[in-house]
Amino acid sequence: LIHRINSSLRVTKIDDWIFNYEYARELLLMQFKTVNLKGFGVDHLNEGLVAAGVVLNYLQETQKSNLSHLNNISLYNHSGFMVLDSSTRRNLEITFTMQDGGREGSLISILDRTNTAMGGRLLKKWISLPLREIDTIKKRQESVEKLIKEKNTRKKLVNELKEIGDLERLISRISTGRANPREVVALKSSLKKIPAVIEQLSKLSGEMLEMIRTGLDPLEKLVDKIQMSIVDSPPASINDGGIIRNGFSEELDELRDIAFHGKDWIARLQKTEREKTKIPSLKVSFNKVFGYYIEISNTHKNKIPESYIRKQTLVNSERYITPELKEYEDKILNAEEKIYELESQLFNEIRLLAAAEVKSIQQNARLIAMLDCFISFAECAEAYNYCKPVVTEGNVLKIDKGRHPVVEQILPPGEKFNPNDCIMDNEENQIIILTGPNMAGKSVYLRQVGLIVLLAQIGSFVSAESAEIGIVDRIFTRVGASDNIAAGESTFLVEMQEAANILNNATSKSLILLDEIGRGTSTFDGISIAWSLTEYLHENRDVAAKTLFATHYHELNEMAEIFPRIKNYKVEVREYDDKVIFLHRVNPGRADHSYGIQVAQMAGLPRFVTNRAKEVLQNLESKELTPYEEKKEKLKRLHRDDNQINLFEIKDDKLRTEIEDIEVDNLTPIEALNKLSELKKKVKDET
């Protein structure tokens, strides 16, 4: 099942015994260092605790390190968020495009103006989990509005945020003992920016901005400790040495003096020995085999002092050592080893000090990420001319001069996006049947409405002149067609599965975006399914979801004359010199033509093909079996209060009496079928 959803996911099998409540609970208690889990509000969720325990066990087995930064567990309650299934995420191109799966051209590529890594991650989370709680949405809007108005303060905050590293990643590596010296310095540099952020936030009002300001902790003692102990530009690896500042440890300073000034001592020794022995070519050198030694050429053998101890004879020279030289060599070599050990010890102590502040650093990361998202929303609102939507608990969806937030930004230079209105509710304008030729902009309009609702419910301003958004609990999309060959599913089956999901799960607070239903089967089957699906959404008051239905089945326009909450809209086009001009304007009404042949011409089909298509079309239209008015009347008769024959609609009393007198229990199956056929013929004759 997992591979059918996403074949790229890696699946690891876990032993059955790990899926044990007692084991999982004990594992979690040890991790959080608590006597029970009541403080987290999850103590009663046995299955959830087992799942959490399995995940924690997996991390412990694979990471092989301290996981102290994992210090909390909370319940994800989807009732507070809009539901976006995988189909909707894909069709609305929220975080990746349908064309190539890339980020460029998706909603997040337009909306992401964050300056920190954790801000970028939080923005992606917000986009994937739009809110349903109006209070939180309004608080986010308030923060964005304040940041738009205080542009200078916002710019200063941006400059500070640019200097803040990935606090979440840094503290994770520090807590697990994997952080190198540069990462500890990066933590210090990031924390040093927090006082400036607090100062700028003090100039702004608003509940969430104030919460961020008071919640940030500069951790000045930790910053000072790192500043005093670690050099500003340390090497990446502790093995390279030179990490701890001079003056931080007296013992380390003494060892360094011996090790680093050893060369000076050697140079002085060489000068002294040359003067003492009168041998100008005398050299004091070092190699890994003999250590330090004195080398004298054979021409000066007669001048060698008795205190010299011969160590090695070469062709043209001999090498000697002295007690004084070996004593200092021991000091130098031991000093280097002790320096490495002491620096490692001091660095680990500092790393542990930082790890002890894991909760405060994680909170700083969360608050900085939140501020970063608010600033990103403000930057987008200002740059793209977004408006602050009115979000309500009602069912009205009203958008004035709405624009697709992505398409308007990627149009060629000089080309302007044509805005469109949208008015929907559950009382008068529940379902919109949208007709128009291919390439006219129906799909863009559907996605545009969905994205504006999503933007409103993450607390962002929206791409419109004004907007009123009644809270939506779920956005459903049925856009395009594709097979799932690996699973043996045809285009039509996939389409019907998605439609079934919508009908079975939509509520009166949902928004449904349908872009062509029934294209994967015959025309009459497609129309029948599209009609009955739309009728179901209208008549079933448990659903009654706001629905935008883009279709090429013009027959569905007749539903507006039968069902009071269905309205017809069309995408305007102009025909000129046998060519179609797309105006990209959505207005009330119904499209007269599909303009399929004109679109085919634009696509580059050979002229013979399009000319012949026109001839075939004229021939088909001239031989229309059912006049338009008669077909219209038949479509109206499709609507029934009940899908079964109503006995009391039969006007013929004899027929009614005959049905009532049938002794069903005494009929054989064949007799029953014959009787049913006979009655059916009589009913047809009557009607």
Q: What is the CATH number of the domain that holds 14?
A: 3.30.420.110
Residue 145 sits in the same domain as residue 179: yes
Bridge partners for 462 per DSSP = 387
Crossing angle of helices 358-384 and 117-128, in 10° steps, is 70
| Residue 465 resides in a domain | yes
Last residue of a domain, one of 578, 593, 608: 593
Residue 292 sits in the same domain as residue 307: yes
Distance CA 364, CA 214 (A): 11
| Residue 460 resides in a domain | yes
Residue 281 sits in the same domain as residue 339: yes
Residue 546 sits in the same domain as residue 410: yes
CB neighbours of residue 296 within 10 Å: 21
Residue 464 sits in the same domain as residue 546: yes
> pLDDT tens across 594-637, in order?
667 777 777 777 877 777 777 777 776 675 545 555 555 555 55
Inform me whether the pLDDT recorded for 484 exceeds 50: no
| Residue 238 resides in a domain | no
CB neighbours of residue 522 within 10 Å: 9
pLDDT value of residue 485: 36
Residue 552 sits in the same domain as residue 432: yes
Last residue of a domain, one of 26, 58, 75: 75
Residue 443 sits in the same domain as residue 550: yes
- Percent of the chain exceeding pLDDT 70 equals 86
**The three-state (H, E, C) secondary structure of 549-574, written as one string:** EECCCHHHHHHHHCCCCEEEEEEEEE
pLDDT value of residue 601: 72
The candidate with the shortest Cα–Cα distance to 164, out of 115, 113, 112, is 115
- The burial class, CB within 10 Å (0-12 / 13-18 / 19+), for 403 is buried
Residue 544 sits in the same domain as residue 582: yes
Q: Which residue has the higher pLDDT, 74 or 146?
A: 146
Residue 539 sits in the same domain as residue 417: yes
Where in the sequence is the domain holding 662, given as residue range(s)?
647-686
The candidate with the shortest Cα–Cα distance to 244, out of 352, 343, 335, is 343
pLDDT value of residue 685: 67
Inform me whether the pLDDT recorded for 450 exceeds 50: yes
pLDDT value of residue 7: 55
CATH number at 128 reads 1.10.1420.10
Average pLDDT over residues 189-212: 97
| Residue 600 resides in a domain | no
Residue 310 sits in the same domain as residue 254: yes
| Residue 633 resides in a domain | no
Distance CA 383, CA 111 (A): 11
User: How wide is the angle at C-alpha 623 spanned by C-alphas 618 and 627, nearest 5°?
Assistant: 110
pLDDT value of residue 583: 77
> pLDDT tens across 524-555, in order?
888 888 999 999 999 988 888 999 999 988 88
pLDDT value of residue 643: 47
| Residue 333 resides in a domain | yes
- Number of domains forming the structure of the chain: 5
Inform me whether the pLDDT recorded for 454 exceeds 90: yes
> pLDDT tens across 71-120, in order?
788 777 677 899 999 889 999 999 999 888 899 999 999 999 999 999 99
Last residue of a domain, one of 554, 572, 593: 593
78, 494 in Cβ contact below 8 A?
A: no
Q: Binning pLDDT at 50, 70 and 90, where does residue 645 land?
A: very low
pLDDT value of residue 487: 42
| Residue 634 resides in a domain | no
The candidate with the shortest Cα–Cα distance to 351, out of 166, 168, 178, 169, is 178
> pLDDT tens across 12-64, in order?
888 777 788 887 788 877 877 787 777 777 777 788 888 887 887 888 777 76
Distance CA 682, CA 687 (A): 9
Contacts of 427 (CB under 8 A, 6+ apart): 395, 565
Q: Which residue has the higher pLDDT, 144 or 667?
A: 144
Inform me whether the pLDDT recorded for 355 exceeds 80: yes
| Residue 244 resides in a domain | no
Order of strands, sheet of 309-313, starting from the edge strand that comes earlier in the sequence: 283-287, 291-297, 317-321, 309-313
Residue 339 sits in the same domain as residue 443: no
Residue 559 sits in the same domain as residue 417: yes
Q: Which residue has the higher pLDDT, 334 or 655?
A: 334
